[in-house]
Amino acid sequence: MTQESPFKGKTGIKRVLNAAGYSWAGLSAAFKHEDAFRQELFLALVLVPLALFLGHTGIERALMVGAVLGVLIVELLNSAVEAAVDRISLEHHQLIKRAKDMGSAAVMIALINVVVVWALVLLN
């Protein structure tokens, strides 16, 4: 029988507080260890207020802000994959390269999405 994680049994407010703590720890780790995350966070700190100013409707603002936040989400997932893969092995292996390259490609597509969404909204 497979043993479940001891953290899976938490419910209610304890679970919510634990999840918030883990999320904060994840954001802190990304900020501390990931240059790309810090760069994209800085970009978000500039672009989100700009989106709120430049968007004419709630939908436009939501699309522009959502695209920017999407980059941060994808970067966090990419960093998580890289950390997990590096924990398993630091050797050069084709599957490790593929996993890291795919994560990088996902970030690139998220960045392209920002450009496309902003261009479509602003050049309406």
Catalytic positions, written as ranges: 75
Residues 86 and 76: their CA atoms lie apart, in Å, by 15
Helix (H), strand (E), coil (C) string for the chain: CCCCCCCCCCCHHHHHHHHHHHHHHHHHHHHHHCHHHHHHHHHHHHHHHHHHHHCCCHHHHHHHHHHHHHHHHHHHHHHHHHHHHHHHCCCCCHHHHHHHHHHHHHHHHHHHHHHHHHHHHHCC
By the 10 Å C-beta count (0-12 exposed, 13-18 middle, 19+ buried), 116 is classed as exposed
